[in-house]
Structure 1
Amino acid sequence: MTFPSGGRVPEPYGQSSGANLADILERVLDKGLVIAGDIRINLLDIELLTIKLRLIVASVDKAKEMGIDWWETDPALSSRAHRDELARENAELRAHLAELERGRGQEDPSLERGRVSEEPS
Structure 2
Amino acid sequence: MKKKLSALLLGTSLVMGLAACGGGDKDESKNTDNGGTTKTTETADAQKIYDQKCSSCHGGDMKGAMGPNLTKVGSKYSKDEILDILKNGKSGGMPAGLVTGDDAETMASWLAAKK
Q: What is the TM-score of this pair, normalised by structure 2?
A: 0.28
Q: What is the TM-score of this pair, normalised by structure 1?
A: 0.27
Instruction: Name the structure, 1 or 2, with higher relative contact order (CA <8 Å, separation 6+).
Output: 2
